[in-house]
Amino acid sequence: MLRGNRELWLAFLAMIGVTGIYSLVLILTREIPPASELFGHGIGILGFVFMLMTEMLYSLRKRSRSVRWGRMSTWLQFHIFTGIVGPYMVLLHSSWKFNGLAGVSMLFTVIIVVSGFIGRYIFTRIPRTLEGLEIEGTLSQEALKQARNLLALWHTVHIPIGMVVFVSAFVHIGAALYYATLLK
């Protein structure tokens, strides 16, 4: 499971494509695309949808014992891909301004992405089958126990930070809708 880096390469290629589109808009408009205009909103919404898919779909599949919607390794690769590309698109949506709640949301988003890379590294230290089940007996039991404990500790940090990201993002979206549309 996760023997290669396919999801990282795909994320990198997607980010190059998004950067190309962003650069084209930058060249055509001769300004950094504002977060409040069509392109800025579009890239922010798409990035946030990717982030929601990162959290919701992988978590649903991971907790689903009765329904088999594909291999866990594929879902984890999807989780990693959308967990990289989505935040990158939200970063571009920010127009490189990090004030107020949106800035705090972006800070927590960066923290959760960095935490995700750390978790991926820890996760790959535990040998698994293609279905994502741990393989016993390939490492010394002490090394396997340490990796499991480290992964459990990582989860206690990663998941709450993810919740903070989404709460602050929903508050940001609500405030943006209120101030941009309802007050006009």
Per-residue pLDDT of 146-179, as tens digits, reads: 777 887 888 888 888 888 888 988 998 888 888 8
The mean per-residue pLDDT over the stretch 42-51 comes to 92
Q: Which residue has the tokens 């994502």?
A: 132
- The answer to whether residue 95 is domain-embedded is yes
Mark 55-88 as b/e (b = at least 16 C-beta within 10 Å): beebeebeeeeeeeeeebbebbbbbbbbbbbbbb
Cα–Cα dist 184/171, whole Å: 19
Mean pLDDT over 24-34 rounds to 91
1 within some domain:
no
Find, among 44, 15, 42, 39, the residue nearest to 28 by Cα: 39
DSSP character at residue 131:
T
Residue 121 lies in a domain: yes
**Is 51 inside any structural domain?**
yes
Q: Is residue 31 part of a domain?
A: yes
The answer, yes or no, to whether residue 132 has pLDDT greater than 70, is no
Number of structural domains the chain divides into: 1
Range of the domain at 109: 6-182
Under the banding of pLDDT at 50, 70 and 90, the label for residue 77 is: confident
Whether residue 175 lies inside any domain: the answer is: yes
Instruction: Using pLDDT thresholds of 50, 70 and 90, give the confidence band for residue 1.
Output: very low
Which region among 8-22, 26-40, 68-82 has the lowest average model confidence (pLDDT)? Answer: 68-82
Q: How far lies 178's CA from each of 56, 90, 125, 182, in Å? A: 26, 20, 46, 5
| pLDDT averaged over every residue in the chain | 82
> At residue 14, does pLDDT exceed 80?
yes
Question: Does 85 reside within a domain?
Answer: yes
Determine the Cα–Cα distance for residues 154 and 45; give it in Å rounded to an integer: 28
